[in-house]
Amino acid sequence: MTLDVIKAIFLGIVEGLTEFIPVSSTGHLLLVEHFFGFADDDFGKAFAVLIQLGAILALLSIYFARLWRLFLGMFANRDDRRFVIGVLVAFLPAMIIGALAYGVIKSVLFNVWIVCTMLIVGGFVLLWIDRLDLKPRYHDATKFSLPMYLGIGVIQCLSMVPGVSRSGATIVGAMLFGADKRAATEFSFWLAMPTMVGAFAFEAYKSKAQFDGGNTVIIAIGFAVSFVCGWYVVKTLLGYVARHGFALFAWWRIVVGALGLLALMLGH
Protein backbone atom coordinates (compact mmCIF):
# COMPACT_ATOMS: atom_id res chain seq x y z
CA MET A 1 0.00 0.00 0.00
CA THR A 2 1.76 3.11 -1.25
CA LEU A 3 -0.29 5.69 0.56
CA ASP A 4 -0.64 5.00 4.26
CA VAL A 5 -3.21 6.51 6.59
CA ILE A 6 -1.03 9.48 7.61
CA LYS A 7 -0.44 10.42 4.00
CA ALA A 8 -4.13 10.09 3.20
CA ILE A 9 -5.04 12.41 6.09
CA PHE A 10 -2.43 14.96 5.08
CA LEU A 11 -3.51 14.98 1.44
CA GLY A 12 -7.16 15.19 2.52
CA ILE A 13 -6.35 18.30 4.56
CA VAL A 14 -4.51 19.90 1.63
CA GLU A 15 -7.36 19.09 -0.77
CA GLY A 16 -10.14 20.28 1.52
CA LEU A 17 -8.45 23.53 2.51
CA THR A 18 -7.35 24.52 -1.00
CA GLU A 19 -10.14 23.31 -3.32
CA PHE A 20 -12.40 26.34 -3.03
CA ILE A 21 -9.88 29.11 -2.47
CA PRO A 22 -7.94 30.60 -5.41
CA VAL A 23 -4.62 28.85 -4.74
CA SER A 24 -4.96 25.66 -6.88
CA SER A 25 -5.67 22.48 -4.95
CA THR A 26 -4.24 20.34 -7.76
CA GLY A 27 -1.05 22.40 -7.78
CA HIS A 28 -0.63 22.06 -4.02
CA LEU A 29 -1.26 18.32 -4.13
CA LEU A 30 1.30 17.88 -6.89
CA LEU A 31 3.90 19.84 -4.91
CA VAL A 32 3.18 17.85 -1.75
CA GLU A 33 3.43 14.61 -3.69
CA HIS A 34 6.70 15.66 -5.34
CA PHE A 35 8.55 17.07 -2.34
CA PHE A 36 7.25 14.59 0.24
CA GLY A 37 7.15 11.53 -2.00
CA PHE A 38 3.45 10.98 -1.45
CA ALA A 39 2.74 9.67 -4.96
CA ASP A 40 5.16 7.20 -6.43
CA ASP A 41 2.73 5.03 -8.40
CA ASP A 42 -0.32 5.41 -10.63
CA PHE A 43 -2.75 5.04 -7.74
CA GLY A 44 -1.02 7.80 -5.79
CA LYS A 45 -1.31 10.12 -8.76
CA ALA A 46 -5.01 9.35 -9.22
CA PHE A 47 -5.66 9.75 -5.48
CA ALA A 48 -5.24 13.53 -5.71
CA VAL A 49 -8.32 13.76 -7.94
CA LEU A 50 -10.34 10.98 -6.34
CA ILE A 51 -10.40 12.57 -2.87
CA GLN A 52 -12.04 15.61 -4.42
CA LEU A 53 -15.27 13.73 -3.77
CA GLY A 54 -15.06 14.76 -0.12
CA ALA A 55 -14.81 18.45 -1.00
CA ILE A 56 -17.57 18.05 -3.59
CA LEU A 57 -19.96 16.52 -1.06
CA ALA A 58 -19.09 19.22 1.49
CA LEU A 59 -20.15 21.85 -1.02
CA LEU A 60 -23.30 19.93 -1.99
CA SER A 61 -24.30 19.45 1.64
CA ILE A 62 -24.07 23.19 2.34
CA TYR A 63 -25.98 24.08 -0.82
CA PHE A 64 -28.46 21.20 -0.63
CA ALA A 65 -31.50 23.28 0.30
CA ARG A 66 -30.78 25.83 -2.44
CA LEU A 67 -30.11 23.07 -4.95
CA TRP A 68 -33.43 21.41 -4.09
CA ARG A 69 -35.33 24.69 -4.46
CA LEU A 70 -33.55 25.31 -7.75
CA PHE A 71 -34.41 21.83 -8.99
CA LEU A 72 -38.08 22.29 -8.18
CA GLY A 73 -38.17 25.87 -9.41
CA MET A 74 -36.58 25.29 -12.80
CA PHE A 75 -39.73 23.56 -14.03
CA ALA A 76 -41.95 26.53 -13.24
CA ASN A 77 -39.71 29.54 -12.66
CA ARG A 78 -38.03 31.20 -15.64
CA ASP A 79 -35.21 32.72 -13.56
CA ASP A 80 -34.33 29.39 -11.95
CA ARG A 81 -34.36 27.65 -15.31
CA ARG A 82 -32.17 30.36 -16.82
CA PHE A 83 -29.60 30.02 -14.03
CA VAL A 84 -29.40 26.24 -14.41
CA ILE A 85 -28.83 26.72 -18.13
CA GLY A 86 -26.20 29.36 -17.34
CA VAL A 87 -24.24 26.99 -15.08
CA LEU A 88 -24.38 24.25 -17.73
CA VAL A 89 -23.24 26.70 -20.40
CA ALA A 90 -20.31 27.72 -18.19
CA PHE A 91 -19.42 24.07 -17.60
CA LEU A 92 -19.53 23.10 -21.29
CA PRO A 93 -16.08 24.42 -22.40
CA ALA A 94 -14.25 22.59 -19.60
CA MET A 95 -16.16 19.38 -20.30
CA ILE A 96 -15.21 19.41 -23.99
CA ILE A 97 -11.59 20.49 -23.64
CA GLY A 98 -10.99 18.29 -20.61
CA ALA A 99 -12.21 15.19 -22.43
CA LEU A 100 -10.28 15.94 -25.62
CA ALA A 101 -7.02 17.03 -24.00
CA TYR A 102 -6.92 14.67 -21.00
CA GLY A 103 -3.78 12.88 -22.18
CA VAL A 104 -1.82 16.07 -22.83
CA ILE A 105 -2.91 17.62 -19.55
CA LYS A 106 -1.82 14.63 -17.48
CA SER A 107 1.40 13.85 -19.37
CA VAL A 108 2.70 17.34 -20.12
CA LEU A 109 1.11 19.92 -17.83
CA PHE A 110 1.26 17.95 -14.56
CA ASN A 111 4.77 19.24 -14.00
CA VAL A 112 6.02 20.82 -10.77
CA TRP A 113 7.99 23.51 -12.64
CA ILE A 114 4.78 24.58 -14.37
CA VAL A 115 2.87 24.46 -11.08
CA CYS A 116 5.32 26.74 -9.28
CA THR A 117 5.43 29.21 -12.17
CA MET A 118 1.65 29.36 -12.44
CA LEU A 119 1.28 29.83 -8.69
CA ILE A 120 3.47 32.93 -8.88
CA VAL A 121 1.80 34.31 -12.03
CA GLY A 122 -1.65 33.67 -10.59
CA GLY A 123 -0.67 35.41 -7.36
CA PHE A 124 0.22 38.58 -9.21
CA VAL A 125 -3.02 38.33 -11.21
CA LEU A 126 -4.99 38.21 -7.94
CA LEU A 127 -3.11 41.24 -6.59
CA TRP A 128 -3.86 43.05 -9.86
CA ILE A 129 -7.58 42.19 -9.85
CA ASP A 130 -7.85 43.16 -6.18
CA ARG A 131 -6.49 46.63 -6.96
CA LEU A 132 -8.50 47.34 -10.09
CA ASP A 133 -11.12 50.05 -9.74
CA LEU A 134 -13.89 47.85 -11.09
CA LYS A 135 -17.50 48.98 -11.23
CA PRO A 136 -19.52 45.81 -10.56
CA ARG A 137 -22.82 45.49 -12.39
CA TYR A 138 -23.79 42.12 -10.91
CA HIS A 139 -24.23 41.43 -7.21
CA ASP A 140 -26.05 38.10 -7.52
CA ALA A 141 -24.42 35.03 -9.09
CA THR A 142 -27.79 33.85 -10.38
CA LYS A 143 -28.37 37.00 -12.44
CA PHE A 144 -25.38 37.01 -14.82
CA SER A 145 -26.10 37.18 -18.55
CA LEU A 146 -25.82 33.99 -20.60
CA PRO A 147 -22.83 35.33 -22.62
CA MET A 148 -21.16 36.13 -19.30
CA TYR A 149 -21.69 32.55 -18.09
CA LEU A 150 -20.09 31.28 -21.29
CA GLY A 151 -17.15 33.69 -20.98
CA ILE A 152 -16.49 32.59 -17.40
CA GLY A 153 -16.59 28.97 -18.57
CA VAL A 154 -14.01 29.65 -21.26
CA ILE A 155 -11.71 31.35 -18.75
CA GLN A 156 -12.16 28.44 -16.34
CA CYS A 157 -10.42 26.23 -18.93
CA LEU A 158 -7.15 27.97 -18.06
CA SER A 159 -7.27 26.08 -14.77
CA MET A 160 -6.53 22.84 -16.60
CA VAL A 161 -2.94 24.02 -16.24
CA PRO A 162 -2.08 22.92 -12.66
CA GLY A 163 -1.24 25.90 -10.49
CA VAL A 164 -3.71 28.25 -12.17
CA SER A 165 -6.67 27.37 -9.88
CA ARG A 166 -10.18 26.58 -11.01
CA SER A 167 -11.78 28.86 -8.44
CA GLY A 168 -9.20 31.58 -9.15
CA ALA A 169 -9.83 31.56 -12.90
CA THR A 170 -13.60 31.57 -12.35
CA ILE A 171 -13.48 34.43 -9.84
CA VAL A 172 -11.16 36.59 -11.95
CA GLY A 173 -13.24 35.95 -15.06
CA ALA A 174 -16.50 36.82 -13.30
CA MET A 175 -15.05 40.03 -11.86
CA LEU A 176 -13.67 41.15 -15.22
CA PHE A 177 -17.12 40.56 -16.71
CA GLY A 178 -18.77 42.75 -14.06
CA ALA A 179 -19.44 40.71 -10.91
CA ASP A 180 -18.53 41.90 -7.43
CA LYS A 181 -16.15 39.82 -5.30
CA ARG A 182 -18.84 38.00 -3.35
CA ALA A 183 -20.96 37.12 -6.40
CA ALA A 184 -17.86 36.02 -8.33
CA THR A 185 -16.74 33.79 -5.47
CA GLU A 186 -20.19 32.29 -5.01
CA PHE A 187 -20.48 31.51 -8.71
CA SER A 188 -17.17 29.66 -8.43
CA PHE A 189 -18.99 27.39 -5.94
CA TRP A 190 -21.91 26.81 -8.32
CA LEU A 191 -19.63 26.08 -11.26
CA ALA A 192 -17.50 23.79 -9.09
CA MET A 193 -20.41 21.39 -8.72
CA PRO A 194 -20.65 20.07 -12.31
CA THR A 195 -16.94 20.64 -12.97
CA MET A 196 -15.69 18.70 -9.97
CA VAL A 197 -18.29 15.96 -10.29
CA GLY A 198 -17.32 15.55 -13.95
CA ALA A 199 -13.58 15.51 -13.19
CA PHE A 200 -14.07 13.00 -10.39
CA ALA A 201 -16.23 10.68 -12.50
CA PHE A 202 -13.81 10.84 -15.43
CA GLU A 203 -10.74 10.21 -13.25
CA ALA A 204 -12.48 7.39 -11.38
CA TYR A 205 -13.31 5.72 -14.69
CA LYS A 206 -9.75 6.12 -15.95
CA SER A 207 -8.33 4.81 -12.67
CA LYS A 208 -10.77 1.96 -12.02
CA ALA A 209 -7.99 -0.61 -12.25
CA GLN A 210 -6.32 0.97 -9.21
CA PHE A 211 -9.16 0.09 -6.84
CA ASP A 212 -8.83 -2.78 -4.43
CA GLY A 213 -9.91 -3.24 -0.84
CA GLY A 214 -6.89 -1.49 0.64
CA ASN A 215 -6.98 1.42 -1.77
CA THR A 216 -10.68 1.94 -1.17
CA VAL A 217 -10.08 2.35 2.57
CA ILE A 218 -7.32 4.90 1.96
CA ILE A 219 -9.56 6.87 -0.41
CA ALA A 220 -12.34 6.84 2.20
CA ILE A 221 -10.02 8.31 4.82
CA GLY A 222 -8.83 11.04 2.46
CA PHE A 223 -12.44 11.68 1.47
CA ALA A 224 -13.60 12.15 5.08
CA VAL A 225 -10.80 14.59 5.93
CA SER A 226 -11.35 16.47 2.67
CA PHE A 227 -15.07 16.73 3.48
CA VAL A 228 -14.51 18.31 6.90
CA CYS A 229 -11.89 20.80 5.69
CA GLY A 230 -13.86 21.67 2.55
CA TRP A 231 -17.02 22.27 4.59
CA TYR A 232 -15.18 24.73 6.83
CA VAL A 233 -13.72 26.66 3.88
CA VAL A 234 -17.03 26.97 2.02
CA LYS A 235 -18.81 28.20 5.16
CA THR A 236 -16.23 30.93 5.83
CA LEU A 237 -14.86 31.98 2.43
CA LEU A 238 -17.62 34.29 1.16
CA GLY A 239 -17.55 36.44 4.26
CA TYR A 240 -13.76 36.61 4.27
CA VAL A 241 -13.49 37.60 0.60
CA ALA A 242 -16.18 40.26 0.94
CA ARG A 243 -14.28 41.86 3.83
CA HIS A 244 -10.63 41.34 2.88
CA GLY A 245 -10.33 40.52 -0.83
CA PHE A 246 -7.73 38.14 -2.26
CA ALA A 247 -4.39 39.52 -1.04
CA LEU A 248 -3.78 36.70 1.47
CA PHE A 249 -4.28 34.05 -1.20
CA ALA A 250 -2.17 35.99 -3.70
CA TRP A 251 0.83 36.24 -1.39
CA TRP A 252 0.46 32.61 -0.32
CA ARG A 253 0.65 31.58 -3.98
CA ILE A 254 3.70 33.74 -4.62
CA VAL A 255 5.58 32.49 -1.55
CA VAL A 256 4.77 28.80 -2.17
CA GLY A 257 5.62 29.09 -5.87
CA ALA A 258 8.90 30.89 -5.20
CA LEU A 259 9.96 28.38 -2.52
CA GLY A 260 9.04 25.54 -4.85
CA LEU A 261 11.14 26.95 -7.70
CA LEU A 262 14.05 27.52 -5.34
CA ALA A 263 13.86 23.92 -4.12
CA LEU A 264 13.71 22.61 -7.67
CA MET A 265 16.71 24.69 -8.74
CA LEU A 266 18.64 23.28 -5.78
CA GLY A 267 17.90 19.81 -7.09
CA HIS A 268 15.13 18.66 -4.75
pTM equals: 0.89
As for how many domains the chain has, the answer is 1
What is the enclosing helix (H) or strand (E) of 94? helix 78-100
CA distance to 6, 59, 166, 192, per residue, from 19 (Å): 20, 10, 8, 9
Residue 198: what pLDDT?
85
Q: Is residue 90 within 8 Å of 152, Cβ to Cβ?
A: yes
| C-alpha to C-alpha distances, 41 to 97, 113, 161, nearest whole angstrom | 26, 20, 21
Task: Give the model's pLDDT for residue 166.
Answer: 93
User: What range does the domain containing 156 cover?
Assistant: 5-265
Q: How far apart are CA 80 and CA 93, in angstroms?
A: 22
pLDDT number for residue 42: 55
The band of 34, judged by pLDDT with boundaries at 50, 70 and 90, is: confident
Residues 6 or more apart whose Cβ sits within 8 Å of residue 201 = none
Q: Is the pLDDT of residue 46 over 80?
A: no
Distance CA 36, CA 23 (A): 19
